[in-house]
């Protein structure tokens, strides 16, 4: 069968032939129709992600959409190594499959499952968001951040604040749920710009922020935490949920920022939430696609173009490899 094959860690996958999988007891043999190119897939393929199987050669792809042998259309995640999602067929544990509603097409299901799940799980499983609470999405202009804004609003957030580097993209978020936007491009301009950014954050925290969903970490997250502490809202808990590290930076956090505030720092990822919780989040996202009118930009690419497409992620549009 045709597949995207990773020969060794650190290389790009190539399009070629690989042996067909044979499902074992408790597994499903999936005929794949669509699989998204996500940071999760790329991290596992390179061996860098903490959940990576580190088995080579192997077919890349951590998740996708397809049909079981008995005709059920499902989203699947974490196929059994050395098989992956970017192939004509794969094998995956039955418990790792989620039915795809009829109203959600393959492209949308493949594209929205991972980023939608990241925010749904963070808000529902870690933050336990309550209706009317205020949510700040740090790094809201990327694929996952845009969905987080929409999902927070759908889940009942009274106010959603979005931060991001791209001013134009931030303004667009106002049409899909953001009530306030703060561009952190101010930080890079000069010391005065950094002060303006912190002041804008402090103003929002002084009015009350209950939950922060962070997709960046690094300097921007550090500034958010410090601004929350300086805002001086006595004993008002802020649940800070770290979901992604797109900045590829670490945080240098003064201890005083924690001692002088009621911030609770948490992560949301594999092992911080039961796996069943993530699958439940995917189900919830699928059910919300139509009533919440969830929007995600997608681009269909044939699997044969995997090598030249692998490093071309814009961060704004989700590449989805189509196999049928």
d(CA 13, CA 10): 9
Over pLDDT 90: what percentage of the chain?
Answer: 69
Quote the pLDDT of residue 313: 66
Q: Which helix (H) or strand (E) holds 302?
A: strand 298-302
For residue 301, what are the CA distances in angstroms to 65, 287, 318? Answer: 15, 26, 10
pLDDT digits (tens, 9 = 90+) for 277-301: 999 999 999 999 999 999 999 999 9
pLDDT at 235 over 70: no
Of 246-250, 261-265, 295-299, 308-312, where does mean pLDDT reach its minimum?
Answer: 246-250
Quote the pLDDT of residue 311: 83
Quote the pLDDT of residue 186: 61
d(CA 45, CA 63): 12
pTM of the model: 0.90
Average pLDDT estimate for 201-224? 93
pLDDT category at 49 given cuts 50, 70, 90 is very low
81 or 17, which is more confident? 17
- Cα 247 to chain centroid distance, Å, stands at 14
Quote the pLDDT of residue 9: 72
pLDDT category at 189 given cuts 50, 70, 90 is low
pLDDT category at 60 given cuts 50, 70, 90 is very high
Find out whether the peptide bond into 57 is cis, omega within 30 degrees of 0.
yes
Q: Two tokens at 116?
A: 């939608």
Quote the pLDDT of residue 316: 80
Name all domains of the chain by residue range, CATH numbers in brackets.
Answer: 2-103+290-322 (3.90.180.10), 114-267 (3.40.50.720)
Q: Nearest 5°: CA angle at 302, between 169 and 297?
A: 15
Quote the pLDDT of residue 241: 96
pLDDT at 47 over 70: no
Quote the pLDDT of residue 251: 84
- Output DSSP code: residue 126: I
For residue 1, what are the CA distances in angstroms to 68, 96, 196, 259? Answer: 17, 23, 56, 58
């Amino acid at each position: 069968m045709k597949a995207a094959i990773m020969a060794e860690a650190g290389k790009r996958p190539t399009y070629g032939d690989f042996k067909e999988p044979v499902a074992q007891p408790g597994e499903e043999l999936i005929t794949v129709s669509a699989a998204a190119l996500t940071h999760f897939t790329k991290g596992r393929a390179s061996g860098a992600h903490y959940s990576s199987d580190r088995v080579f050669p192997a077919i890349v792809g951590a998740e996708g959409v397809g049909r079981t042998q008995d005709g059920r259309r499902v989203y699947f995640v974490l196929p059994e190594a050395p098989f992956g999602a970017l192939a004509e067929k794969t094998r995956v544990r039955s418990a790792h499959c989620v039915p795809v509603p009829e109203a959600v097409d393959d492209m949308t299901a493949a594209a929205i499952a991972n980023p939608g799940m990241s925010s749904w799980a963070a808000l529902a499983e870690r933050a336990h968001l309550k209706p009317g609470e205020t949510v700040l999405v740090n790094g809201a202009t990327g694929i996952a951040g845009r969905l987080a804004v929409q999902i927070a609003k759908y889940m009942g957030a009274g106010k959603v604040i979005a931060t991001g580097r791209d001013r134009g993209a931030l303004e667009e978020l106002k049409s899909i749920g953001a009530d306030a936007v703060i561009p952190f491009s101010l930080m890079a301009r000069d010391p005065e710009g950094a002060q303006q950014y912190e002041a804008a954050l402090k103003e929002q925290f002084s009015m009350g922020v209950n939950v922060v969903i962070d997709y960046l970490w690094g300097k921007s997250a550090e500034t958010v935490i410090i601004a929350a502490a300086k805002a001086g809202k006595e004993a008002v808990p802020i649940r800070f949920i770290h979901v992604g590290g797109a900045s590829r930076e670490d945080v240098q956090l003064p201890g005083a920022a924690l001692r002088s505030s009621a911030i609770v720092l948490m992560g949301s990822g594999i092992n911080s939430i039961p796996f069943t919780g993530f699958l439940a989040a995917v189900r919830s996202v699928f059910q919300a696609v139509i009533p919440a009118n969830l929007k995600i930009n997608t681009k269909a690419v044939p699997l044969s173009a995997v090598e030249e497409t692998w490093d071309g992620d814009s961060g704004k549009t989700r590449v989805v490899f189509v196999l049928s």
